Amino acid sequence: MSETIDYYEKNARSFAESTADVDFSGMQERFLSELKDGASILDFGCGSGRDTCCFLKKGYRVTAMDGSAELCSIAGEKAGIPVIQMDFNDFDERDAYDGIWACSSILHLPKQELKNVLVHMERALHKGGIIYTSFKYGDFSGMRNGRFFTDFTEDSFRAFVSDIGQLEMEQLWITADVRPGRENEKWLNMILRTKRR
């Protein structure tokens, strides 16, 4: 993860500029439709702060965090709230959120770390809470363009989460990349729900 964090520290401004104005409204609405008005949301790996701003404007209670100090600064300035800088592996909260939005963030973790982080994310949810997350579509795992990635297909992700007993797959769908010029890149999106109802 350290090499990936270094990448974002060095490229925070250009990364934020390339993602801040991307229209992600369809995905945001799909996530929010599963939550009550004013629900508590954790933006887990908030990047540029794009989604934090969206959720705040719609009246949700939002906590934002990222592993990169530079991105925390950019997102905090954009959203007007403090953003927590934290290594994803250090996250450890209980019964704190209705929803966790982890858009293109936990895909930077190796599988063993990812499984542990998903367990901690589930524990941080209220009963019946949800997680939205996304991964590049495929079977690659390793360094790519200066960052670590873990990719998944539908079958490989189902197998991966099958032994995380408190999480169940609620929705799973594939989309094209929404950034201009990258429409051929595929993403695996999912909504997971804690079984603690």
CATH code of 98's domain: 3.40.50.150
How do strand 61-66 and strand 40-44 relate by DSSP bridges?
Answer: parallel
Angle between helices 69-79 and 50-57 (to 10 degrees): 30
Domain housing 160 = 3-194
The reply to whether the predicted model has a pTM over 0.75 is yes
- Tell me: the pLDDT tens digits for 62-120? 999 999 999 999 999 999 999 999 999 999 999 999 999 999 999 999 999 999 999 99
* Burial grade of 29 (CB within 10 A; 0-12, 13-18, 19 or more): exposed
Q: Report the mean per-residue pLDDT for the chain.
A: 94
How many CA atoms does the CB half-sphere of 2 hold within 13 Å?
A: 0
Partners of 168 in the β-ladder: 193
The sign of the CA dihedral 160, 166, 5, 53 is: positive
Cα separation of 28 and 26, whole Å?
6
Contact status, residue 42 vs residue 97, Cβ threshold 8 Å: yes
Instruction: Give the model confidence (pLDDT) of 119-148 as tens digits.
Output: 999 999 999 999 999 999 999 999 999 999
The answer to whether the beta carbons of residues 124 and 97 sit under 8 Å apart is: yes
Instruction: List pLDDT tens digits, range 137-186.
Output: 999 999 999 999 999 999 999 999 998 989 999 999 999 876 666 657 89
SS3 136: strand
pLDDT over 70 (residue 28) = yes
Total domain count for the chain? Answer: 1
